[in-house]
Structure 1
Amino acid sequence: MVKLSAVRARLAEPSDLAAVLPLVRSARADSPLGPQFVAPEVAGLETHLRAWFEMPESRLVIAEVDSELIGLALLQCVSPGLLCDVPYLQVEALYVHGDHRRQGAGRALMQQGAIEAARHGAERIVTVPLTGARSEQRFFSGLGFSPAGSRRVAETASVLRRLELAPSATRERRTRGLDELIARRRRSRGLPETPARGVDLTALVERSQAESRSMHVNRAVQTRRSDPSSSTAIS
């Protein structure tokens, strides 16, 4: 058990879950992930909380002041795996009620979490990015945490749609770009924007590009200054 000032942090027990539930709802409402991940209310939240609590790798730490629950930390003990060679403790969420912040509750929760990490044999403690707020960054920096990677989010349907349409969409953009290039070249020469049927568009573009390169070379030759070292002095 850890005690800082009037704040006490400890591991939650099954009998604490009913009191933890309102705080979980507050944390969900305060989540920066918003509707992409978190709905204001969800059916069966108590069932989800109990199922999570009963998982062997889960650790629920709560902070109290005068028997009032004011904060929680959701922790996961992660064993070595294919992409990680050391055990670590992951802080999935660290939440303190708005009326009790800056009173040491966050530090008490993290201290109890660090004790659980040591008990688990975890060599690292990893925090999942929460709000990204400067106050949060300063809090974790003050405890010795440094940045490691970042997360991005996208709708599954959007990713599938882009993956399925990427080849055809790329071809369509290239074709549209080719048509626009041809139209600009023809306008610059006073020709109709739409070439006559049967014209090889690829050959037309290549010939136009070759003419452009030749024009730039001739212009460079005409404007090139003579090399003083090769000039002949006239006496």
Structure 2
Amino acid sequence: MSRSLVSLRCALPSDAPQLAVLWSDVIRRVEHDEQVADLVSVIESAAISDTERLVVAEYDGELAGAVYLRITPLSPINLEPTVQAISPHVLPQYRRKGVGRSLMDAAVSYAEENGVGHLATAAASASRDANRFMARLALGPQAVFRVATTHAVRSKLTAQRPALQRTSGRQLTHVLAARRSLRRAQSTSS
């Protein structure tokens, strides 16, 4: 019987620089030092929380992946408790070595420890391998989570309004006042 080279543990503040590299595509886009400081804060918060855990996977003693676990309602309007496995990531050189499976096993164990009956996670829509992996673990799509900048959404909403509504409120008020004055003038001259 061979022993697994994958081991799991709770994250330590000293893991923050490596986690910043691992999660570079999902964390705040600022200088590396600020990302590390953010992650130290996240690690420290998870360490003292009863409803959060940040799990690191090591492969043969090297950090290979991580997942952030959080017990939360399924949604603000569906209060069913759920363990969210947030950003389960594995470094490319450690993929297909059981690291991802170990991270998801940690999520299931965390749910079982806390009597939570549901597990939720997300994978990048463009990551075919990650989505197939999640599907093989019985995780089906529940919703599509879309993200854009506030400015981009405001621009699109404004562009889709009828032309009369796109004018500023003040311009519209002046146009309506001018029309009312014209109607009054026409009705008194008739």
Normalization by structure 2: what TM-score?
0.71
Output the CA distance in 1 between the equivalents of 2:45 and 2:23: 17
In the alignment, is residue 152 of structure 1 matched against residue 146 of structure 2?
Answer: yes
What runs of 5+ residues in structure 2 fail to find an aligned partner? 167-190
1:9 alignment counterpart = 8
2:56 alignment counterpart = 62
The offset of 1:111, in angstroms, is 0.7
After superposition, the Cα gap between the structure-2 partners of 1:40 and 1:122, relative to the gap in structure 1 and judged at 3 Å, is farther
After superposition, the Cα gap between the structure-2 partners of 1:83 and 1:42, relative to the gap in structure 1 and judged at 3 Å, is farther
Equivalences for residues 206-225 of structure 1 within 5 A: none
In the alignment, is residue 113 of structure 1 matched against residue 104 of structure 2?
Answer: no
The offset of 1:154, in angstroms, is 2.2
1:27 alignment counterpart = 22
In the alignment, is residue 133 of structure 1 matched against residue 124 of structure 2?
Answer: no
What runs of 5+ residues in structure 1 fail to find an aligned partner? 175-235
Output the CA distance in 2 between the equivalents of 1:160 and 1:173: 14
Aligned length: 162
8 Å Cα contact 1:23-1:70 kept in structure 2: no
Runs of at least 4 residues of structure 1 off by over 6 A? Answer: none
1:97 alignment counterpart = 91
Output the CA distance in 1 between the equivalents of 2:120 and 2:74: 14
1:177 alignment counterpart = none
Output the CA distance in 2 between the equivalents of 1:135 and 1:142: 11
Matched letter for residue 130 of structure 2: E
Helix, strand or coil at the partner of 1:136: helix
1:170 alignment counterpart = 162
Could you say which structure has the larger radius of gyration? 1
